[in-house]
Amino acid sequence: MSSNYVNDAIFWIEIEKVAPNPYQPRREFDQDALKSLSESIRMYGVLQPLVVTRKEVFHDGGGMTVEYELVSGERRLRASKLAGLAQVPALIRSGEDDSQLKLEMAIIENLQREDLNPVDRARSFERLAKEFGLKQAQIAEKVGKSREYVSNSMRILALPDDMITALEEGKISEGHTRPLLMLTDRPEEQIVLFKEIMSKKLTVREAESLSRRVATERIRNKGKYLDPAMIEMEKNFTESLGTRVRIEKTKEGGTVTIDFFSPDDLRTLLEKLNAQRSAATASPASSSEVSAQETPSTDTAPIDDRAPADTAKEENEEIYSLKNFSL
């Protein structure tokens, strides 16, 4: 045991005198898990002592009181209060009231228990960097992780607020942030990808594939492979079919690639194409009216009539494309 602790001894401290760690990185605590821990504490007591700092406060009128501030053991403190304990066992860290230490120990404790969500973890690393001037390599050494782990965690905070909130709430996974971050310099495409991840329940692999295709399209457009008329036609295809469509020119003609994410998506696309062909055959003279009806109105929100993807099944499927497909 470190000599930084008073007499290397465990002290029993009144629970009401222990203030929470102001540098606690966790913002949410699972209430069911806390109740379960409180039941265990009620039966067996607090098996692992808290770590606190001690401060003597002298009053103007005379007298002195002792205050304690938590360094690590937030869950045990909360659960002990739920269990109705009057005192808790604690190690008193002596000779310092180090804000950086409190943050470091709270982060390390949560990382060891895997209690931090990706956003809280990223914000914790950011605080170590901004408030205490630590380099990413120094943070990595202190928390026992690689520099790349720290760097990738902190990059999450570059996402827009709504995407960060979705990650905090578990609506998207940390893996989904990688393809979203690939589109940081293309915010419109980033928003589109985020909405597709949310609405279509895209797997991480599917989202990464779409993100790479956007990068490919960026290179293609810079190379001016498509003239403005082709780009406009590509946009119309995308709006009409409700999914991403790309046109690739070759020396002799070209290809049209239509994205889909499940057999249901493919069937829906085929039904739309058949409906358009039937309408055109039944009333060729009014094709302009048919086109106007089929193009989604900008005044109303588009309706996604495709079935949600089966994410568990899709993890083992490839993303298909229809190539050499003429309309």
User: Residue 164 corresponds to which tokens in the numbers above?
Assistant: 């960060």
Percentages (nearest 5) of helix, strand, coil residues in the chain: 55, 15, 30
Cα(203)–Cα(317) distance, integer angstroms: 10
What's 14's DSSP letter? E
Separation of alpha carbons 26 and 106, rounded Å: 9
Name the nearest CA neighbour of 180 among 171, 188, 190, 170.
Answer: 190
In SS3 terms, 151-192 reads as HHHHHHHHCCHHHHHHHHCCCCCHHHHHHHHCCCCCHHHHHH
| Strands of the sheet with 321-322, listed across from one edge | 245-249, 254-259, 321-322
Classify the C-alpha dihedral 125-131-135-141 as positive or negative. negative
Question: Which residue is catalytic, options 69, 74, 189, 206?
Answer: 74
User: Is 74 marked active-site?
Assistant: yes
Tokens of 190: 């980033």
Close Cβ partners of 284 (under 8 Å, ≥ 6 residues apart): none
Long-range contacts of 275-278 (CB under 8 A, 24+ apart): 276/240
- Residue 155, classified by CB atoms within 10 Å of its CB into exposed (0-12), middle (13-18) or buried (19+), is middle
Measured in whole angstroms, the distance separating CA 81 from the mean position of its chain's CA atoms is 32
Residue 56: strand pairing partners: 66
Q: Using an 8 Å Cβ cutoff, are 34 and 82 in contact?
A: yes
Place of tokens 């960097």: 129
**What whole-number distance in Å separates Cα of residue 247 and Cα of residue 225?**
10
Query: Hey, which residues are catalytic here?
Result: 74
